Amino acid sequence: MNFLRAIPFVAAALLLPRPADAGEAEYGRTLADNWCASCHVVGTGQRPDHKGAPAFTTIAQSQDFTAERLAYLLLDPHPKMAKLALSRKAIDDIAAYIRSLK
């Protein structure tokens, strides 16, 4: 009987979004191509258009790269970076793409 009472709680836990891993790398690549590629090299074969903006592969290799740091940077960009209207989900997807470049 106790097992039956636990079913809704287990089901709810399985449906909750996953933490930092929740991003979808493939969609993040699409977003990066649309939002980031004018300044950053986001993929192979792309030439940099903006000096000083690190390539996504460089960002991926950074030891302190996290989705949270990326979110902070995008929500409160430094002066050289444009303000982007990205949702937290979009930021998580871009972070997942960057992590996939390690």
- Domain of residue 17, CATH code: 1.10.760.10
* Residue range 42-85, pLDDT digits in tens: 988 888 776 778 899 999 999 999 988 888 888 776 767 777 78
Residue in 42, 15, 51, 14 with CA at minimum distance from that of residue 98:
42
* Residue range 74-91, pLDDT digits in tens: 877 676 777 778 888 999
Q: What percent of the chain has pLDDT over 90?
A: 32
- For the record, the structure tokens of 37 come out as 């590629």
Q: Which residue has the tokens 């470049």?
A: 101
| Whether this model's pTM surpasses 0.85 | no
Expressed as residue numbers, the domain containing 31 is 2-100
Q: What percent of the chain has pLDDT over 70?
A: 75
Number of domains in the chain: 1
Calpha distance 31→90 (Å, rounded): 7
